[in-house]
């Protein structure tokens, strides 16, 4: 592993921005109506347990990425194609987020700009960051983390100062626990909490590997609380029915901000928040896909992969769906059940189980793939 390492604080910033990323763009857990915030908190618990599984696998294979220790555990015959599946998965999910952000920009601001142009500009910016390695990625992310959090807190303060909050929109609390649980699992559990599986490709870059699990848990908890709070705010301003029908609930909420007819039209602040979070979420999926491809095909110069994989991102983002409604339906109903669950939870649990059996049998835990 190269000498450039990611500090614990940078690791926290990466996970925090990743988790909020596109989850606050499209709204989360609104199927549970006014109890969406509860569904998010329940899903976060599952996300913490799942991240513990990733941490346990990393502890046994500290120098290897996911695509590396899959081959160690299952052998090359099964492990290599499964590693390839994960690379395709990272590209596909990253392309979905790219489509989210580009659609947001065309809807709210760049309405005359073709989607493909926005896709290409974003991917070129990301490729430039990744060309300079994980250290530059982590430092850039950390800088924007402070901008992001300040903007987020300012947005919340403006909403409160506008007197838009109606707590009665959050009542009754816990009206339908069956609906809350079915929303939390698998939907909110897999998106965004289960998507932290992408960080299994970056754990070997940690400066202090022992801090990876604790810092990751802390980032998931704090980001989960923020997502839950923002969901509650969206509902308390517009109501659960309107929030669930809006393609961009936070945007709908922020358009209502009006303080003394002086501070209003703060849409650009919202766009900045959503674009920053989405941008770095895509970058992490992009980086994971590049790392995995270089590992499987034994390519030493990862820079050679940035352009071809970036082109695939742009192509998929364009072809992924024909409309926003179709895109959201795929992402919130189909993908969590049939793609996220097996790859985020099923395979990692299988890997952990097989690894445990091998240890019990006294077989080496650190063969090179």
pLDDT by residue (tens digit) across 107-119?
Answer: 878 888 999 999 9
Q: Is residue 367 situated within a structural domain?
A: no
Any long-range contacts for 54-59 (C-beta under 8 Å, 24+ apart)?
54/196, 54/197, 54/199, 54/200, 54/203, 54/348, 55/203, 55/212, 55/213, 55/216, 56/352, 57/200, 57/348, 57/351, 57/352, 57/355, 58/200, 58/203, 58/204, 58/209, 58/212
How far apart, in whole angstroms, are the C-alpha atoms of residue 119 and residue 314? 6
Q: Is residue 1 situated within a structural domain?
A: no
More confident: 254 or 279: 279
Q: Is residue 287 situated within a structural domain?
A: yes
**Whether pLDDT at 261 is above 70:** yes
Overall number of domains in the chain: 1
How far apart, in whole angstroms, are the C-alpha atoms of residue 91 and residue 248? 23
Kindly report the pTM of this predicted structure: 0.95
Exposure letters 300-322 (e unless 16+ CB within 10 A, then b): eebeebbeebbebbbebbbebbe
Q: What is the pLDDT of residue 267?
A: 80
Q: What is the pLDDT of residue 2?
A: 58
* Average pLDDT of the segment spanning 171-183: 95
Q: Is residue 3 situated within a structural domain?
A: no
| Contact assessment for residue 175 and residue 39, using Cβ atoms and an 8 Å cutoff | no
Query: Which residue's entry shows tokens 């754990």?
Result: 203
- Which residues span the domain enclosing 165? 8-352
Least confident range of 40-44, 284-288, 335-339: 335-339
| Contact assessment for residue 32 and residue 179, using Cβ atoms and an 8 Å cutoff | yes
Domain of 66, CATH number, reads: 1.20.1740.10
Q: Is residue 275 situated within a structural domain?
A: yes
**Whether pLDDT at 105 is above 80:** yes
Q: Is residue 366 situated within a structural domain?
A: no
Q: Is residue 334 situated within a structural domain?
A: yes
State residue 263 phi and psi, 5-degree precision.
-100, 110
Q: Is residue 230 situated within a structural domain?
A: yes
pLDDT, tens digit, 9 for 90 and up, residues 141-165:
999 999 999 999 999 999 999 999 9
Q: What is the pLDDT of residue 246?
A: 86
Q: What is the pLDDT of residue 366?
A: 55
* Average pLDDT of the segment spanning 352-369: 76
């Amino acid at each position: 592993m190269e000498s450039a390492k990611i500090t614990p604080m940078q690791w926290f910033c990466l996970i925090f921005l990743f988790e909020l990323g596109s989850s606050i763009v499209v709204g989360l857990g609104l199927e549970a109506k006014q109890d969406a915030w509860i569904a998010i908190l329940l899903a976060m618990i599952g996300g913490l347990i799942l991240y513990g599984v990733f941490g346990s696998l990393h502890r046994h294979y500290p120098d290897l990425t996911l695509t590396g220790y899959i081959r160690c555990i299952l052998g090359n015959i099964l492990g290599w194609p499964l590693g390839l599946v994960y690379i395709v998965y990272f590209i596909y999910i990253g392309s979905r987020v790219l489509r989210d952000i580009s659609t947001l920009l065309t809807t709210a601001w760049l309405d005359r700009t073709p989607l493909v142009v926005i896709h290409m500009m974003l991917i070129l910016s990301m490729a430039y960051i990744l060309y300079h390695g994980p250290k530059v990625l982590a430092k850039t992310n950390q800088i924007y983390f402070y901008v992001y959090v300040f903007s987020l807190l300012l947005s919340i303060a403006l909403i409160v100062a506008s007197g838009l909050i109606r707590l009665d929109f959050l009542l009754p609390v816990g009206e339908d626990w069956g609906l809350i649980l079915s929303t939390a699992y698998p939907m909110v559990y897999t998106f965004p909490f289960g998507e932290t599986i992408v960080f299994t490709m970056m754990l070997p870059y940690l400066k202090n590997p022992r801090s990876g699990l604790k810092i990751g848990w802390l980032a998931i908890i704090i980001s989960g609380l923020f997502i839950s709070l923002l969901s509650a705010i969206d509902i308390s301003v517009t109501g659960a029915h309107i929030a669930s029908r809006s393609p961009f609930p936070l945007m709908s909420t922020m358009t209502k901000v009006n303080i003394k007819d002086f501070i209003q039209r703060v849409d650009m602040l919202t766009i900045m928040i959503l674009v920053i979070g989405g941008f770095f979420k895509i970058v992490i999926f992009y980086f994971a896909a590049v790392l995995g491809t270089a590992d499987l095909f034994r390519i030493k110069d990862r820079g050679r992969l940035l352009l071809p994989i970036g082109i695939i991102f742009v192509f998929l983002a364009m072809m992924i769906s024909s409309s926003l409604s179709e895109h959201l339906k795929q992402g919130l109903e189909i993908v969590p059940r049939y793609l996220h669950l097996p790859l985020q939870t099923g395979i990692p649990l299988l890997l952990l189980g097989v690894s445990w059996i091998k240890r019990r049998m006294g077989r080496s835990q650190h063969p090179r793939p």
